[in-house]
A and B are shown apart, each in its own frame.
Chain A
């Protein structure tokens, strides 16, 4: 059995039936697509200015770019713990700013947590204890295809609980109404709030007062309610305030009941990068090193803010072939061998895919569990850590 890094669930019950055609027991659509690409033969070679070359020349060219740069940006960061360790080491030497490609969602959650904290749970608790699940702004399966199969529809639970009732709020384009809806839910928790006197069929954010009251009643009646949200699907300004509104509701319910939150992540190693960064530098995602000293700014150190002022971009995407953003500064790309470019980067180094070509360690979406990734097939491709070590040696 092996672990699948294609989404935040990190299912580790996958089994390879055959390689051609590829058949994997327990893999979901995301998993199959991930391993199809990872198992495909690749002739991808390092290149400098679009011309194929060897690893040594490419890492030399990358080191030359970083040596000249005063404010490089290390972005993408699609990697796992071991890869992030090497990125942090290089960032310290190169005085780089670090940001993950999916940090928009991560940062919303972090800001809410830094402002008021939160009350959360993990997958095994959900599987065994949840009797009510409220999904906010997400159908869950788009992020985590096997969520219901593994945690809800299974028959084995420790406490003989009924199958949980699932409720959804603010799906798809309705998600923009969530700020209003979440405020209303919080207000309805207070019996003295005038909102409680409104007519049942009055609408708030397109939802009737009666439905909102019913959601609260079900959460209050639950033995163990779980509120799931996906910060990355909240595509409106100041969405961290809506995350906070969600966590506030959970806190309030916990004064008398047990209800816990479960924030979904976005993948490409976002949780792994966030954790590793935090214990190594003291700061979560969106930080930088200045003369060996770590600094943190969840707004200014975003890829978007830094792209124009940085004098080099090192883009990393090892799990998927995500392309770097357009940038005038020299670009180094390390990542998935399938990577195709509209404009050739100054340096491209194809790297091994963690969990397929080499081992690794990865954090699950619920942040308490770190899973070992296995090496499933031999590959000529170097791991990100190998590449970074070579660049580091040449930078000195």
Chain B
């Protein structure tokens, strides 16, 4: 069984191919070299004139787990398909239901229909790992994976206070990755979620958590070192302190130095790029942030673009969400403290283009996109659903690729916000090759998915084929074909076959002695057994459709 994709225009940044016309052969779910003439081609797709990219990878999207399900529960009204009127209508593709809280099934379907073949849940709370994996298991069509949240759990903070050595920290981090079936480590408002439980309401980078007497900077240093020394490909995923607060750009700039040059990824950086200039004491610091990103090569970031319309923000950062709850629209929010592990805050938002702050947030995100020079270090996200549902990606891609379209949208914004943004002076337009970097090659490279995000021989045959259209939104909303592991699963934007995708994990080795202290801690302070906390492979694979892929670590370095 060999499938031939003939004459497509290939955009494959991993191999440097920028619109090269080339054939692709697929066998047993993988891309193979051109077979010998004796081998039979079972099926041929003529892709003359079509754009061919690897399947897209969303490296940060809240697709499952406690807070996502709370958002669904709290907002049943979102399940109804909404037709937005101008000017809000311009945030989505025509086929987009603009559902910020899709069911697991809808999540998989909407992603694959746009040519995305993988999405990563960036806030998998270790104690909630089982629920997150249950939901991801029920998400069809795409591959998935999670980043385990650490840095606010009392176990880790006790270790820091007790000045445990780096090896002990590394063993705990490696154990967490194994126990929660995750592929990366994330820290949300380092130390802040924990401090909120002691009634601290804000925490700066160099401020002590009042109980543990450790700073966010120390937490970042410890965790980024552990991730690096364990050889985990995915750099520490950092949601900085002071989310959404005016003036927080300084915290973000300072955070870049917290790892002493070790790789870190700063997530939804748009929400962390705010200054305090102007009459309203809220301004864009995109220029400072972009300049720092350009300079600090060890830092990567995703944007977390906001787009106008109704959505919901679901975050582990209950400290800051408690403050944001006053802006909730509709007026309701769920704030939780969870299991001496972390917390969550779910706050519905309606971003309005005539609201000064919202309009400027929109502009700030785009300013960052256009000012960060290296597309390998900046990623396309809306922090689904926090900035906008992921279904608005085709619209966002058009904003990046089409300056006229972008400036027309800008002209509709709140006038005070327009006056505070230099967006129209940024002439850059992303190319198809740039988009392929941000949404494919770069994302795979960041997470360490060596056989995804590219079209080279040996890669998993996750492939998306588009008709080249001047309207990039229409183009990216509805691919002609999507192949998942070599099977045709989408034809003309509609699902043709249901598949289930795999779960990507990293399982670095650790000293099993780490469980001795953990067991003692669980027996004394927890309300569940250590053995119940750990997730077995069987829990993901036993239903007969889930599978686990374990990624090799990069060479561990000390």
- Interface positions of A (Cβ within 8 A of B): 1, 3, 9-10, 12-13, 81, 85, 110, 113-125, 127-129, 150-151, 156-159, 223-224, 254, 257-258, 260, 274-276, 278-284, 294, 296, 361, 363, 367-372
Contacts and interface: CB of A to CB of B under 8 A. Distances in A.
Given A113-B74, A284-B76, A369-B128, A279 B525 contact: no
A375 to B, nearest CB: 12
A3 B527 CA distance: 12
A123 B339 CA distance: 7
Contacts of A156: 524-525
Given A120-B337, A128-B154, A284-B76, 13 more contacts: A1-B529, A85-B138, A110-B73, A114-B73, A116-B331, A118-B334, A124-B339, A254-B335, A278-B72, A282-B106, A294-B103, A361-B134, A372-B532
A125 B197 contact: yes
Contact of B531 (A1, A284, A369): A1
Interface of B: 64, 66, 68-70, 72-76, 79, 101-106, 125, 127-128, 130-131, 134-135, 138, 154, 158, 196-199, 211, 322, 325, 328, 331-341, 346, 524-529, 531-532, 539
Contacts of A158: 154, 158, 340, 525
Contacts of A125: 197, 337-340
Contacts of A278: 69, 72-73
23 contacts: A1-B529, A119-B334, A121-B337, A124-B340, A124-B528, A125-B197, A125-B337, A125-B339, A125-B340, A127-B527, A129-B337, A158-B158, A254-B322, A257-B199, A278-B73, A279-B134, A279-B138, A280-B103, A282-B72, A368-B338, A368-B339, A369-B128, A370-B130
Contacts of B73: 110, 113-114, 274, 278, 284
Contacts of A117: 74, 325, 328, 332-335, 346
A114 B539 contact: no
Contacts of B102: 282
B527 to A, nearest CB: 4
B335 A368 contact: no
Q: What is the predominant secondary structure among interface residues of chain A facing chain B?
A: mixed
A358 to B, nearest CB: 12
Nearest to A275: B69
A113 B336 CA distance: 13
A279 B339 contact: no
B525 A3 contact: no
A34 B529 CA distance: 21
Nearest to A81: B134
A282 B76 CA distance: 7
Given A81-B134, A85-B138, A224-B197, A279 B69 contact: yes
A121 B336 contact: yes
Nearest to B133: A370
Nearest to A250: B335
B527 A123 contact: yes
A75 B146 CA distance: 35
Contacts of B76: 114, 282-284, 296
Contacts of A9: 527
